Every structure is written in structure tokens, then in C-alpha cells.
């Protein structure tokens, strides 16, 4: 059983972070929030404006260059620091990301206290810790963030962690929450991957109705999927045989 558990865990492993996860259409919102704070200064406003604009246009090299130039000039805006943390994660510089997140947290206590980054801090900081290998610190933060999160990647990650810890019930709960999230970055192959994972978890517990339900969703997206079709046909045949035997018993044949 343990080898199957480990195999299924690695089957569920996924790319935690990608550039597409960084940007959102809020350049003006972020820049005006920065300008309205005590951290704005003519010494680095131009670099911040250029960097934030590049960040939201997904020009991450320019964003990193410009925002880092502002930071080197003395900028301590928590919004700038948070975006530098995200950009550091994108480059897999997780220790730098952790440092930027920590500085951002301190300065969000001084300015921009209602910014959206404040509400997502645990999720992002926990991810950086996790990816840096500091899992003991990261896991409690990630589970706390997941309680009310609508983040696909986070719900999937805490589901994986729950499964690895032997808590299949909570793993299924997190995975089911994840697949209900409407996220344009979640592709059909990713959904097939998740439906298959859920189907296998239900099948492992001999809960064939649940397994069949998720395998049917696999077939809806991939009609030729052999694993899903074989399982559905096998379960149908099992149920048909069971009903046939029950009918024979009712007729006194057995």
C-alpha cells in the first residue's frame, strides 16, 4: 500500500508556479496605491512605474530590472517588495523571494494595509517556503491559507500534502474544491489529470460510484482514454452480473 501511496503522490506532483500566475490587470491600481503611500519618492518613482507596468504586461525581465533598481535606490514599498518576491520565485530564487516577502509583510503594517497582496500573503509566502525546502514552516501556513482560498494551485498542493500524510479524506476534499475553481489557466489535460487522480483515490477505497463519476468526466474530455473506459466498462459489467445473479436468486435458481 505504501508504494502505491508514494507512486500516486508523485503522479499528482505538478508545476507549482509559472509566469502566468504572476500578473493581473491591476497596473493602475497598484501604481496609484504606491503613489498614495509614504513610500513614494521622486528618487525612484520612474523605476517603479516602469517596473509595475512591465510586470503587469508580463515582461518579467524588465519588471525585475526596474523594480530592483528602485529597491537599490531605497524604495521599501510593500507592493514593490511583494512583486520582487514573485519575480524571484519565477526565477526559482526562493531564498530571495522569502526575504522580499518578509520585508513586504513588515511594510504592509505601515502602508497599503488593505491591498490584495495582504490577503494572499500566507499563500504566497508559504509557497516560497515550501519550494525552498522549508516544508515544516510552510505546511501550517499553506493549510491556514487554504481554509478560505479559491486558488487552484494551493488547494491542489494541500491535497497532495494531505495524501502524503495518509489523510485521504481531506486530500479528496481539497482536490474536489480545486476542480470547482474557475481558472482559465487550468487546461483540459490538467483536469483529466485531476479527475483521474480522484477516480483512483475513490477506487482505492472501493467506492466505485465515486470512481465511475470521475472517470466519466475523464471520458467527457478524452473519449478514447483507455483507463477510464476500461474501468467504466468493468464496473458496468460487474453491476450487470450482480443484478443478474440477484434476479436468479429471486427465481430460486440458487
32 and 84 co-located in one domain? yes
Tell whether the model's pLDDT for residue 3 goes beyond 60: no
The CATH number covering residue 210 comes to: 1.25.40
169 and 71 co-located in one domain? yes
181 and 200 co-located in one domain? no
**Which value, in Å, is the radius of gyration of the alpha carbons in the chain?**
24
pLDDT of residue 1: 42
193 and 166 co-located in one domain? no
Write down which residue in 132, 165, 186 finishes a domain: 186
For a pLDDT cut of 70, what percent of the chain falls above it? 83
Tell whether the model's pLDDT for residue 2 goes beyond 60: no
Give pLDDT tens digits for 98-110.
999 999 999 999 9
202 and 78 co-located in one domain? no
120 and 162 co-located in one domain? yes
Domain span holding position 218: 187-254
Q: How many domains does the chain have?
A: 2
Give pLDDT tens digits for 236-247.
666 556 554 555
pLDDT mean across residues, the chain = 86
17 and 108 co-located in one domain? yes
81 and 101 co-located in one domain? yes
Spatial distance between the Cα atoms of 191 and 174, rounded to a whole number of angstroms: 14
pTM: 0.78
176 and 231 co-located in one domain? no
Tell whether the model's pLDDT for residue 84 goes beyond 70: yes
Tell whether the model's pLDDT for residue 12 goes beyond 80: no
If you average pLDDT over residues 170-192, what whole number do you get?
93
Give pLDDT tens digits for 19-72.
445 556 589 999 999 999 999 999 999 999 999 999 999 999 999 999 999 999
The CATH number covering residue 144 comes to: 1.25.40.10
Give pLDDT tens digits for 112-170.
999 999 999 999 999 999 999 999 999 999 999 999 889 998 999 999 999 989 999 99
208 and 114 co-located in one domain? no
Chain centroid to CA 94: 17
DSSP the chain: -HHHHHHHHHHT------GGGT--S-HHHHHHHHHTSTT--TTTHHHHHHHHHHHHTT-HHHHHHHHHHHHHTT---HHHHHHHHHHHHHTT-HHHHHHHHHHHHHHHTTS-TTSHHHHTHHHHHHHHHHHTT-HHHHHHHHHHHHTS---HHHHHHHHHHHHHTT-HHHHHHHHHHHHHS--TT--HHHHHHHHHHHHHHHHHTT-HHHHHHHHHHHHHH-TT-HHHHHHHHHHHHHHHHHHHHHHHHHTT--
Cβ atoms 74, 68 nearer than 8 A: no
The C-alpha cell 475553481 sits at 181
Amino acid at each position: 500500500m505504501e508504494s502505491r501511496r508514494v507512486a500516486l503522490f508523485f503522479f499528482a506532483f505538478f508545476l507549482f508556479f509559472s509566469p502566468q500566475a504572476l500578473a493581473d490587470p491591476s497596473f493602475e491600481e497598484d501604481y496609484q496605491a504606491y503613489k498614495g503611500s509614504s513610500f513614494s519618492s521622486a528618487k525612484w518613482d520612474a523605476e517603479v512605474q516602469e517596473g509595475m507596468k512591465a510586470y503587469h504586461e508580463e515582461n518579467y525581465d524588465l519588471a525585475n530590472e526596474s523594480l530592483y533598481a528602485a529597491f537599490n535606490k531605497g524604495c521599501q514599498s510593500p507592493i514593490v517588495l511583494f512583486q520582487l518576491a514573485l519575480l524571484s520565485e519565477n526565477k526559482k530564487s526562493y531564498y530571495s523571494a522569502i526575504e522580499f516577502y518578509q520585508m513586504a509583510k513588515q511594510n504592509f503594517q505601515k502602508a497599503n494595509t488593505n491591498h490584495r497582496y495582504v490577503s494572499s500573503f500566507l499563500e504566497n509566502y508559504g509557497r516560497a517556503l515550501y519550494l525552498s525546502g522549508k516544508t515544516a514552516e510552510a505546511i501550517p501556513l499553506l493549510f491556514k491559507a487554504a481554509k478560505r482560498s479559491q486558488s487552484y494551485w494551493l488547494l491542489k498542493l494541500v491535497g497532495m500534502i494531505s495524501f502524503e500524510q495518509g489523510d485521504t479524506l481531506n486530500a479528496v476534499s481539497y482536490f474536489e474544491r480545486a476542480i470547482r475553481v474557475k481558472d482559465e489557466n487550468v487546461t483540459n489535460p490538467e483536469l483529466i489529470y485531476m479527475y483521474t487522480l480522484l477516480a483512483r483515490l475513490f477506487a482505492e477505497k472501493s467506492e466505485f460510484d465515486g470512481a465511475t463519476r470521475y472517470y466519466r468526466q475523464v471520458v467527457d474530455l478524452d473519449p478514447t482514454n483507455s483507463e477510464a473506459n476500461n474501468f467504466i466498462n468493468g464496473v458496468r459489467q460487474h453491476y450487470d452480473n450482480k443484478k443478474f445473479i440477484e434476479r436468479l436468486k429471486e427465481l430460486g435458481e440458487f
